[in-house]
Amino acid sequence: MKKEIIQKLHTRFEDFAHSAEDGVEFWFARDLQQLLGYSKWQNFSTVILKAINACIKSGQEKSDHFTGVSKMVDIGSNTKREIDDIILTRYACYLIAQNGDPNKVEIAFAQTYFAVQTRKQEIIEKRIAEIERLEARKKLTNSEKELSQVIFERVKDERSFARIRSKGDSALFGGKSTSQMKQKLKIPKNRPLADFLPTITIKAKDFANEITNFNINKENLISETGISAEHVKNNEDVRKLLTDRNITPEELPPAEDAQKVARRLKSDEKKIAKEKSKKKK
């Protein structure tokens, strides 16, 4: 997610935050509806119900986090009418974001905004970047599984995928093999190279895989030689795209172990629920 988008969303979410007399922050559901990009209250109400169910399943009291209220709103011509609304705690907002449409950029931002205990923008930016890296890593895993399956179906050799992937890596990393990149980045031999690559390189590998998968079917490639040549070319083309923009894949520093990042984010989610339980007691 671009920094400008994060800055814009951060400002909007901050503007709609309220503080009770005891210092507890809260948001109104009608405001959150706008913040999360839902045009219809009816659709948003469905998401709220899912969040309430998640709240109850976590052992929390619904009334501690979702409080129904009524308020008057202007409808034009100096006329007002009463509408229902809900006061939401940070935890309630977090649950709503978790049950929202993940394709909405507002939802992606909100999932982190309400998860972290501080609303400092730099911390939110870091967490969003970590989530996006894990999503890219998952997508790469899926494209590699697809490529492996297609290669085996056509070549009938279990080792062919490893050989083809290695040649693709060499093309992407300027002649450096997978094992050489592991040595360069000081990655354990038994761990996947991709777990320690930065997001842009993970996406580059995935993009090359997607093109290879597409062209294998389009060109009906059936030999290891043909598929390998296709995969090497695609990685070379992706490399050129990067180097033309002064990004050299093999010179980028290693990123934090993706598995470690995943464990930390999962642990943070558990802490949120535990902290709410403690406050309740």
pTM, full prediction: 0.68
DSSP state of 255: P
Does the pLDDT at position 243 exceed 80? yes
- pLDDT for position 172: 98
C-alpha dihedral sign at 69, 74, 80, 81? negative
Is residue 125 within 8 A of residue 9, CB to CB? The reply is: no
CA atoms within 13 A on the CB side of 165: 26
In this structure, of 32-36, 63-67, 73-77, the range with the lowest mean pLDDT score is 73-77
Does the pLDDT at position 232 exceed 70? yes
Mean pLDDT of 78-105: 88
| Percent of the chain predicted with pLDDT > 70 | 91
- pLDDT for position 273: 58
Q: Output phi, psi for 84, to 5 deg.
A: -85, 145
- pLDDT for position 10: 87
Comparing C-alpha atoms, which of 213, 210, 177 is closest to residue 193?
A: 177
Mean pLDDT of 88-111: 91
199-226 pLDDT, tens digit each: 999 999 999 999 999 999 999 999 999 9
- pLDDT for position 4: 87
